Amino acid sequence: MAKVYVDLMSQPSRAVYMFLKYTKVPHTIQSVALRKGEHLTPEFASVNPFKRVPAMVDDDGFHLSESVAIVQYLCKKHNIEDLYPSDLKQKARIDAFNHWQHMNLRMGGSGLFQNLLIKVLSGKTVQPEELDMAAKIMKASLNKMENVFLKDTPYLWSDKLSIADFFGVCELMQPQLGLSMDVTKDFPKVAAWSELVKKSIGTELFDDAHKFISLTGPKFVKMQIPTPKL
């Protein structure tokens, strides 16, 4: 049984968490609170020397970090072809999105969240140029999702749910729920896709995975901090 270390404030942690619950892959969850610095302890360093979540230790003692690699490994180990098909071209499309999102959707959403909430809460000065760059990256990413990844299909480059959707939707929710920003208002396909993914994964599971990030949005709104237009 795999032991998986997560913090549900982390987008990739949520993606792995939902994948595990959705597929019912045998596992146990170990919470690692980033806000408390639990990922920086020597104990966690023995699990993942990069000191990041998510991380996994499989039942045979095999250690693995990086969220996409963890999910791909578990799909192959447990023959989960409905989410990560064996067809070469379909798999390549899924891999292409998961590679793309790191430096695009994730960078934009994380940049907004870090600059608008985390810096303010930690007493750091928000750098306008960093915030503007994050907003530009987010808008460009949403445009690519709208006009490329969702151009002809209801899911990301696919007619059915795949692991790409788990990662994509969690990145989208970071500013959408964490900052209460309506980032999809000018992107109808992205908005429809996010609702479809939520229903496909299961509303109860989706809400459970996002229960903590959903609490930050209302707190951020009360701060009355101006947000950039996308």
111 occurs within a structural domain: yes
* CATH code (residue 195): 1.20.1050.10
Do 21 and 67 have their domain in common?
yes
Do 128 and 55 have their domain in common?
no
Do 98 and 208 have their domain in common?
yes
Do 67 and 117 have their domain in common?
no
Which structural domain, as residue segments, surrounds residue 32? Answer: 2-77
Do 30 and 99 have their domain in common?
no
83 occurs within a structural domain: no
pLDDT in tens, 4-34: 999 999 999 999 999 999 999 999 999 999 9
Q: Tell me how many domains the chain contains.
A: 2
* CATH code (residue 51): 3.40.30.10
pLDDT in tens, 69-89: 999 999 999 999 999 999 999
Do 171 and 96 have their domain in common?
yes
CA gap 167, 95 in Å, rounded: 11
Q: Strand 2-6 relative to strand 27-31: parallel, antiparallel, unpaired?
A: parallel
82 occurs within a structural domain: no
119 occurs within a structural domain: yes
Residue 151 pLDDT grade (very low, low, confident, very high; cuts 50, 70, 90)? very high
* pLDDT on residue 116: 87
33 occurs within a structural domain: yes
Model confidence at 118: pLDDT above 80? no
